[in-house]
Amino acid sequence: MDYIAQGFGEAIRLLAGFDSEVYRIIALSLLVSTSATVVASLIFVPLGVYLGIKPFRGKRIFSRTVYTFMSIPSVIVGLVVALLLARRGPFGYLRLLYTPAAMIIAQTILVIPLILGLTYNLSKNRGTPLEKVSRTLGGNRLDSVILIIRELKIDILVNVATAFSRAISEVGAVMIVGGNIKGQTRVMTTAISMMNSMGDYPMAIALGIILLVVSFGIHSLIYSYSQEEE
């Protein structure tokens, strides 16, 4: 039992002393997941809003497809991306496998359905009345999309935070396309998994603490922001 307590003690020491390896791992996790979330959001939030208010055929099939992909297992995304980026694969010449870029690509693909689906849903339910008002005041579709994004920005942010959580907590995709290479593609989740396997509990616990802090922290930030807006 005291190896747990000892682990905790070491963990605090690693964090407080700004151990460079631990922080490198943390920084990479944040970089990869934030980039993926930002890229996915910049494109698919406006798209999701637009599709939510635009009438088109096959809306139901669209919803169903997107919702299905929302819960796609991360290992599958990792596998598909790895197959595409492998040396023998169609994009092997880009030499992206086992790099942070590949990890960002995989996580972006992972969160796109989530962002698109959640935003589409939000727009369909709460954006439609806004779209009507905008139209009756002379706005075109672009005006409506901008209006909806501004009016529902808290809800959109919550969705984005959800997507970020999914990204930063997943281990399957980044493990397969990144390879958990020390100093290069090792992120919190892959490191925790490996360190547990190696019995290096202090590091695993240290990273686990940070992972929790980040997860809770992001949502807490959004919550404060939403309270301010009231």
Partner 1 sequence: MKKTLTYVLLLLLVLGTVSGCAPKTEAPAEAPANDPAEEPAAESEPVVEESIILATTTSTQDSGLLDFLLPIFTEETGIEVKTIAVGTGNALQMGRDGEADVLLVHAKADELKLVEEGHGTVRNDVMYNDFVLVGPADGEIIYGNDIGAALAAINEKGLQFVSRGDDSGTHKKELGLWKALSIEPAGEWYIEAGAGMGDVLKIADERQGYTLTDRATYLALKDTLQLEVVVEGDEGLFNQYGIIPVNPNKGDMINEAGALKFMDWLISEEGQELISQFGVEEYGEPLFIPNYGK
Partner 2 sequence: MEIRLIGTRKKYRNTMVLDIDELTVPGGMITGVTGSNGAGKTTLLHIIAGLDDSFEGEVTYDGLPISNHIRESMTLVFQKPYLFRRTVYDNIAYPLQIRNKSKEKIGKEVLWAAESLGIEDLLKKKGHQLSGGEAQKVAMARALSIRPSLLLLDEPTSNLDPDSTLRMEGAIRRYNHETGATIVIITHNMEQAERLCHNQIKLELGRMI
Burial class of residue 77, CB neighbours in 10 A (0-12, 13-18, 19+): buried
Which of 1, 138, 199, 229 is the binder for partner 1 (CB under 8 A)?
199
Considering the complex, what minimum distance in angstroms separates the CB of residue 125 from partner 2? 14
Assess 61 for contact with partner 2 (CB under 8 A): no
Closest to partner 2 by CB, 140 or 227: 140
Assess 4 for contact with partner 1 (CB under 8 A): no
Assess 130 for contact with partner 2 (CB under 8 A): yes
Per residue, what are the HEC states of 176-215?
Answer: HHHCCCCCCCCCHHHHHHHHHHHCCHHHHHHHHHHHHHHH
Considering the complex, what minimum distance in angstroms separates the CB of residue 14 from partner 2? 44
**DSSP character for 86?**
S
In 69-137, beta strands by DSSP E: none
Q: How far apart are CA 157 and CA 226, in angstroms?
A: 9
Which of 138, 197, 199, 228 is the binder for partner 2 (CB under 8 A)?
138
**DSSP character for 124?**
I
Assess 21 for contact with partner 1 (CB under 8 A): yes
Binding map of partner 1 across residues 31-60, x = CB under 8 A, - = no contact? ------------------------------
Q: How far apart are CA 79 and CA 86, in angstroms?
A: 10
Which of 13, 95, 132, 182 is the binder for partner 2 (CB under 8 A)?
132
Considering the complex, what minimum distance in angstroms separates the CB of residue 180 from partner 1? 8
Binders of partner 2 among residues 175 to 214 (CB under 8 A) are: none
Assess 133 for contact with partner 2 (CB under 8 A): yes
Amino acid at 119: T
Token reading at 8: 């905790």
The CA dihedral of 102, 107, 112, 114, to the nearest 10 degrees, is 170
Would you tell me which residues interact with partner 1 (CB under 8 A)? 3, 18, 20-28, 30, 86-88, 92-93, 95, 98, 179-184, 197-199, 201, 213-214, 217, 220-221, 224, 227
